[in-house]
Amino acid sequence: MSKITMEINNCHCGNNISYNFCCKKIHLDIMNAETAEALMRSRYTAYVLANEDYLMKSHHSSTRPIKEKNAIIKWAKSVDGIKLEVLECKKGLQNDIEGMVEFKAFFYENSKIQMIHENSRFTRENGHWVYVDPV
């Protein structure tokens, strides 16, 4: 997708605003993710864009998959994101320290539509939201 198209179209995360006014702000400064859902959406977009630095930074230090980083990015570059559906959020608001987000992420892989359905756990680390692990 060209830069111009990305600026005009809705963000990959499914919000009805452009990437520049949505996930890009969080990718540039993780403190802009005010909720666990916002962080989760920004991580989905980071997978679509294969933004390896952000994927590592937005992952809790105790569960960060540093050894798998190259494999994760290789996979992200090999698939095409279709859409993200947020099904439910528990806690994870501005004043919370923990949250859960249930979502479905759809993508093309090997010419087939695939889906990841996950309940994700989030917490605050160093003052900002991070992904911990699936529940």
Backbone angles phi, psi at 134, to 5 degrees: -75, 150
**8 pLDDT band (50/70/90 cuts)?**
low
The residue behind tokens 């930074």 is 57
CATH number of the domain enclosing 123 = 3.10.450.50
Residue-averaged pLDDT of the chain: 94
| pLDDT tens string 60-106 | 999 999 999 999 999 999 999 999 999 999 999 999 999 999 999 99
| Residue-number span of the structural domain to which 48 is assigned | 3-134
From the centroid of its chain, how far is CA 96? 19
Distance CA 41, CA 14 (A): 8
Backbone angles phi, psi at 93, to 5 degrees: -90, 180
Distance CA 1, CA 85 (A): 21
Q: How many folded domains does the chain comprise?
A: 1
Entry pTM: 0.91
Distance CA 83, CA 107 (A): 7
